[in-house]
Amino acid sequence: MDIIMSIDIKSTNEIIKIRKSCKIASEVLTMIENYIEPGISTEKLNKICHEYIVKKKHAFPASLGYCGFPKSVCISINDVVCHGIPNKKIILKDGDILNIDVAVIKDEYYGDTSKMFFVKDVKKEAIDLCKSTQKSLYLAIKKIHPGMRLRKIGSIIQKYIESKNYSIVREYCGHGIGKCFHEEPQILHYDAYDKEIKLKPGMIFTIEPMVNIGSKNVYTGKDGWTVKTKDKSLSAQYEHTILITNYGCEVMTLREEELLLKQ
Ligand code: MF3
Ligand code: CO
Ligand code: CO
């Protein structure tokens, strides 16, 4: 069985469309930063993102209705690992950390990205967790080149995260993306011996490590979506959609603030 055959190589036209979707998703994250303050509900943040995507960018929020997900973005606070459902009763408070995960569809193609936000005065322990999670993503991105083995991405992330004594959530992974939200290949954020696939120019996928301060164990709440750490420790996640190029990779969801990667 040739696993490589199932990984799509995108055409130039597809790349242009995915680039547009990715740009919109990244602009949502930049736009929403100004609204992050104590007292605002995650429902309100969801509404602002929704309106921006639909009215200003003439795109569609990919999460809305995806497998029955009821809102336009995922908002995951503190010990929520991912897939937090925006709710008018969930109010940001001083010291919270939160992930907003934005995926959009524009001209039939998807883009997907997320980052952490800080609500006012966040304790050092939480800031360090977020910085390390982001750095693990950047370390992998910087090493990526065609011909590299897929599993190397996970091994770079795992090595760095575990050197900091954090843990990597195993249940969720990055994914190919294009005309579908989630395509082959799965991008694991830890080293796994069965991934002998080699990266090729034209592949597009996300990398989205979820990192916990405590143990890697998570569970899904009664709403069927909200994933939390079992030990109630803080969790962080950053996500980018990337394109494998002839020389390295293009971060399709790069925000202007992330100058580091442009060098
Ligand atoms: N954006 C998530 C990802 O990175 C998927 C969210 S699915 C939803 O793959 F239904 F929870 F929105
Ligand atoms: Co994703
Ligand atoms: Co996402």
Which residue's alpha carbon is nearest to atom 5 within ligand 1? 63
pLDDT at 196: 79
For the residues 49-59, what does the mean pLDDT come to? 98
Within its chain, how far is the Cα of 56 from the centroid?
22
Give yes or no for a contact between 74 and 82, defined as CB atoms under 8 angstroms apart: yes
Instruction: Indicate the SS3 state at residue 260.
Output: helix
Q: Is 175 annotated as a binding residue?
A: yes
Q: Which residue has the tokens 């569809």?
A: 105
What residues are paired with 112 via a beta bridge?
103
Q: Is the CB of 183 under 6 A from ligand 1?
A: no
Residue 245's pLDDT band, with cuts at 50, 70 and 90, is very high
CB atoms < 10 A from the CB of 255, how many? Answer: 18
Ligand 3 centroid distance, CA of 150 (Å): 19
pLDDT at 3: 45
Atom in ligand 1 nearest the alpha carbon of residue 69? 10
Q: Is the CB of 239 under 6 A from ligand 1?
A: yes
Ligand 2 centroid distance, CA of 207 (Å): 7
Angle of helix 124-143 relative to helix 151-163, nearest 10 degrees, comes to: 150
Q: In this predicted model, what pLDDT tens digit does every residue of 61-112 receive, in sequence order?
A: 999 999 999 999 999 999 999 999 999 999 999 999 999 999 999 999 999 9
pLDDT at 2: 45
Residue 4's pLDDT band, with cuts at 50, 70 and 90, is very low
Q: Could you give the domains of the chain?
A: 12-262 (3.90.230.10)
Atom in ligand 1 nearest the alpha carbon of residue 71? 12
Ligand 2 centroid distance, CA of 130 (Å): 18
